[in-house]
Chain A
Amino acid sequence: MRRQDDTTRRRFLALAGGAAVAGAAPIVSVRPAQATPATMAAAIHNVVGEAMVHIGKVKLDIPPLVENGNTVPMIVSVASPMTAEEHVRSIHIFNEKNPQPALASFYLGPRAGRAQVSTRIRLADSQKITAIAHLSDGSFWTISVDVVVTLAACTEEVI
């Protein structure tokens, strides 16, 4: 009985050691369990590039306290006259702690009339949501809001 325990432990250690070596090899990519503020920054960089991001103009309407993260109403709007000369090109929404940093991207134009989009999102944890608007003059505007989530979404077990 005792010998049996030893062999399983030895085998486990050998396997764990092998896994550690494999993990150290640079070709192995491990999918992170959640987006971090760093991956959110990288995702934002992909959209914005080196451009300056101003704070303001964008409004993000999310309940500050969410009971169920599986469906959270969200309204994003941008203060813009929405004319041919001056309108919102796109709005991108990001988060810190869901498995992926991107939530959604919306592409509008002067025909929208009003720069406002509503949808329902999932939130895996209490976190910060960031919206970035790209205007027709090339400038970027942003706003961030903090949301407290009591029941998380995305990663729960299927029953």
Chain B
Amino acid sequence: MAALINVPPRAKRGDIIEIKTLMSHVMETGYRRTATGDIVPRDIITNFTCRYNGAEIFRAELFPAIAANPFIAFFTIAAESGTFDFEWTGDNGFSATAKAAITVE
């Protein structure tokens, strides 16, 4: 369970910044079979949320068609200094969080 987050450490107020996230996860589709014909059970991340100082700015619903180690990049306006909270949840009680700080001048 390792997350890679790329947020610019500082930005000018009003700048549009890109946030890149990557979470290590197999994203097993549930459609693959082993050599003996058994279905490999589904195990995916279903939801991703990003909060900026507590307010939700981005949310995604994921399906098995998202590649392993889901990479999601999106934009936001640098409004104030603070933290980004990232949360991934999924099958089999999967839950992971990450944080990133930003200084807005």
Q: Which residues of A contact B (CB under 8 A)?
A: 70-72, 95, 98-100, 102-109, 111-123, 153-159
Question: Known contacts A111-B52, A113-B76, A122-B29; is A105 also within 8 Å of B65 by CB?
Answer: no
Per-residue contact bits, chain B 42-76, to A (CB 8 Å; 1 contact, 0 not):
00000000001001111111111111101111111
B75 touches A116 (CB 8 A): yes
- Report the contact-size class of chain B (Cβ under 8 Å from the partner): 20 to 34
Query: Least Cβ distance of B67 to chain A in Å?
Result: 4
Q: List 17 A-B contacts (CB under 8 A).
A: A70-B68, A99-B64, A100-B65, A103-B63, A104-B62, A105-B61, A106-B58, A108-B58, A112-B57, A117-B60, A118-B72, A118-B74, A119-B66, A120-B67, A122-B29, A158-B32, A158-B33
User: Is the contact region of chain B dominated by helix, strand, or loop, or is it mixed?
Assistant: strand
A102 touches B65 (CB 8 A): yes
Known: A105-B60, A154-B29. 18 other contacts (CB 8 A): A70-B67, A71-B67, A72-B67, A99-B64, A103-B63, A104-B65, A106-B59, A107-B61, A111-B52, A112-B58, A114-B75, A119-B67, A121-B66, A122-B29, A122-B67, A123-B65, A155-B32, A156-B32
